[in-house]
Structure 1
Amino acid sequence: MRLHRNLVFSVIDGLNLIFNEGEYADKVVQKLLKRDARWGSRDRKFVAETTYDIVRWKRLYAEIADINENYSRENLWRIFAVWATLRGIELPDWSQLEGTPTRRIKGRFDEFSKIRKIKESIPDWLDELCVAELGEKVWSKEINALNKQAEVILRTNTLRTTKEKLQALLATFDNETEFVKGHPVALRLKERANIFRNDAFKNGLFEVQDANSQLVSEFLDVKPGMKVVDACAGAGGKSLHLAALMENKGNLISLDIYEAKLRELKRRARRNGAHNIETRVIDSTKVIKKLYDMADRVLIDAPCSGLGVLRRNPDAKWKIQPGFLDKVRKTQQDILQRYSKMVKPGGKLVYATCSILPSENQEQVKKFLETNEDFTFVEDKKLLASTSGFDGFYMALLERK
């Protein structure tokens, strides 16, 4: 591979924004890809994947480059040199890369590969926490899986088409896909591509959604004509799936504390042809109280650490702090206690997170049931990236007596 100066400089600029300015990697990459209209797909792929790769392995590369918490541009170039050297890429004769100790880099890589927290590039405290909650063996396998690049999985919008028809249509755009066993409306993209530009997406025939994420809405067991509440809807990925499962029949109320996210949901719903979605901003306790004892089904896709989706959000490893985990657990229990009151007698509730930690999952459900005798536990699913090949998720199905 030959390195091109303008592409590499873009990567360095992006890393500076992520490491020093605290910006989110996905937003930074979106900005970088708009930088030069002359870039082809290969150029854009290099910028995006190299940026994500260095974010994912930040600690490992920084340790090899002998850099502490000082990500000056000079040090960012040293980290980039480590990335290139470990991939066998010949370094060009640029001043920023002068004196790169190629042989020493490879030696230090072998040395650090024996230490999990450095090899897998995670903070000490997070490594210790996950060992305590999951055990040494499970955590070692899980963090290794979470450091792999996520595949592109599509969810067929069954309001507009079938999985078989969508597959055939995508093939006409040279986007080859395959079915995903155990996931009834999922298609796996065989090669990464920008599928947002083709007409199938513009016409609302599919959404990009991890295969395990698709299981959450199915787990809620909705039927056409029901009154369903998506209590933490965000931008609506699961609301859109619920609308499809309900065949656009019944009432789907999507709630969130952020109005901007619900505006995005409305836009996506129009593209998807999902007409039974009603959005409501949670701007006071009255919004929830008005729905007490009203819903056949309630989905609580709770705020969480996001440790199950590190494959697609690698910078979360560096943004999350111990204090945040304490706060989010408190928020999860508070939401579960209050929002569960929207379930009517005989109705069902799903509590879900994209976390792999029992303290955010099973323990929260256990605590809730201890103080809510009118709810019974039906079943739960614990999905790990290391065993499923997709994102880590937890979901528990509860029923109100």
Structure 2
Amino acid sequence: MKLYVNLARAVVQALEMIFENDKYADKVIEKVLKQNPKWGARDRRFIAETTYDIVRWYRFLQNITEAEEGDYWKLLGGWCVLHNIPLPDWDEFKGLNEKRIHERDMKMRAIRRFRESIPDWLDSLGETELGERRWEEELKALNEEAYVVLRANTLKISAEDLQRELADSDIETDLLEDFPEGLVLAERQNVFRHPAFKEGFFEVQDAASQFIAPFLRVEPGMRVIDACAGAGGKTLHLAALMKNKGRIIAMDVEAWKLEELQKRARRAGVSNLETRFIESSKTIKRLDNSADRLLLDVPCSGLGVLKRNPDAKWKLSPQFIDEVKTLQLHILEDYGTMLKPGGMMVYSTCSILPSENEKQVEAFITKHGDKYEFVEQKHSWPSEGFDGFYMALIKKK
């Protein structure tokens, strides 16, 4: 393979925006690719996959190339050396020594925080919370590339029929045994342009995320509140499980996310949805004792989804994790009031840290055991193949 200057510049530009402008990697890549619509599929794939790979292995590449902070050309050069791509004779790559890179590659692989490309504090936190063996296993899995998983929208189509529809367009998928609506792409590609997506036949949603809506045990005709709905992937799954019968109230503290949810709901053919912007505690108070089911998919560190969001590990801080844990307990305590007696709620995160997961549920039940009882919990671990999620089912007495 040959490295072309226009593709290299696009990768370096994307890295600058991610690390220096604090932009999310997926949004940056989307913006960079839009700048040159003439790039073919292979070029676009190279830019996206190379950028993600360098972000994922940022610390490791920085150490084996001995790059100064912000020298993204050297990082790209080191990546090329490791992937046996000949380095062009460009000024940007001057000073890179391939032999030394390979020597330091061997040396750095002996040290976990470099080998797995993780900040020191996060490596220590993970080992403290999960133990050395579990943390090493999960950390290795989190550095693997994420699968692209679809969820068939059963309001419109079955997973089997969706598979056949996509196969007619040469998009090969495999049905997932433990996920009734799930299909995994055999090869990464942009499925958002496919007519089946525009018709609302599917959503892109990781398999582990597809555990959560069924875990809430919803039934058609229920009144369900999704209190941290965001853009609504799980909301739409709930609507499909409820067969559009009953009522779903989707709530969030960011109005633009609810607007995006409304667009997605129209495409998906969801008709039992109402959105409510959380303006203040009064918004919650008005819904006291009104829900049969309540989903609290709370803000978290996002450590379970580093496969698809590798830039998150460089943006996280110990302070942020402490703040988000306080917020999680606040949501559990304040939002739980919307549940009817006898109703059930799910507390879920996309984290693998016990301090954000079972420890939070234990603290909540210990404090409010007169009102709530723990029913069951489930972990989805990155080492099992998909994203890391935690969910706990809690019943209101």
Partner of 1:377: 374
User: C-alpha displacement at 1:100, in angstroms?
Assistant: 2.1
Residues 353-392 of structure 1, C-alpha deviations (whole Å, 9 max, x = no match) = 0000000000100111112122111100011111x20000
Flag structure 2 segments of 5+ consecutive residues without an equivalent.
none
TM alignment of 1:1-400, pairs within 5 A: 1-68=1-68, 70-71=69-70, 75-372=71-368, 373-386=370-383, 388-400=384-396
User: C-alpha displacement at 1:76, in angstroms?
Assistant: 1.1
Two-structure CA RMSD over aligned residues (Å): 0.7
SS at match of 1:349: strand
User: C-alpha displacement at 1:136, in angstroms?
Assistant: 0.3
Provide the rounded CA distance (Å) in 2 between the counterparts of 1:95 and 1:376. 65
| Structure 1 residue ranges, 4+ long, deviating more than 4 angstroms after superposition | none
Residues 119-178 of structure 1, C-alpha deviations (whole Å, 9 max, x = no match) = 100000000000000000000010100000100000000001111110000001110001
User: C-alpha displacement at 1:35, in angstroms?
Assistant: 1.6
Residues 217-238 of structure 1, C-alpha deviations (whole Å, 9 max, x = no match) = 1100000000000000000000
Residues 156-205 of structure 1, C-alpha deviations (whole Å, 9 max, x = no match) = 00001111110000001110001112111100100111111010000000
Query: Which segment drifts farther, 367-376 or 90-99?
Result: 90-99
Residues 36-80 of structure 1, C-alpha deviations (whole Å, 9 max, x = no match) = 111111000000000000000000001112135x20xxx211111
SS at match of 1:300: strand
Provide the rounded CA distance (Å) in 2 between the counterparts of 1:382 and 1:192. 26
User: C-alpha displacement at 1:400, in angstroms?
Assistant: 1.1
Residues 265-318 of structure 1, C-alpha deviations (whole Å, 9 max, x = no match) = 000000000011100000011111111111000000000000000000000000
User: C-alpha displacement at 1:350, in angstroms?
Assistant: 0.3
Provide the rounded CA distance (Å) in 2 between the counterparts of 1:396 and 1:283. 27
User: C-alpha displacement at 1:259, in angstroms?
Assistant: 0.3
The number of equivalent residue pairs is 396
Query: Which segment drifts farther, 274-283 or 14-23?
Result: 14-23
Contact 2:65/2:96 (8 A) holds in 1: no
**Paired AA for residue 4 in structure 2:** H
**Paired AA for residue 385 in structure 2:** G
Provide the rounded CA distance (Å) in 2 between the counterparts of 1:116 and 1:343. 45
Question: Given the two structures, how large is their TM-score scaled by the length of structure 2?
Answer: 0.99
Residues 93-131 of structure 1, C-alpha deviations (whole Å, 9 max, x = no match) = 222123420010011000000100011000000000000
Provide the rounded CA distance (Å) in 2 between the counterparts of 1:125 and 1:192. 33
Contact 2:219/2:242 (8 A) holds in 1: yes
User: C-alpha displacement at 1:20, in angstroms?
Assistant: 1.3
Provide the rounded CA distance (Å) in 1 between the counterparts of 2:72 and 2:163. 42
Question: Given the two structures, how large is their TM-score scaled by the length of structure 1?
Answer: 0.98
**Paired AA for residue 76 in structure 1:** Y
Identity of paired residues, percent?
A: 53
Provide the rounded CA distance (Å) in 2 between the counterparts of 1:322 and 1:400. 33
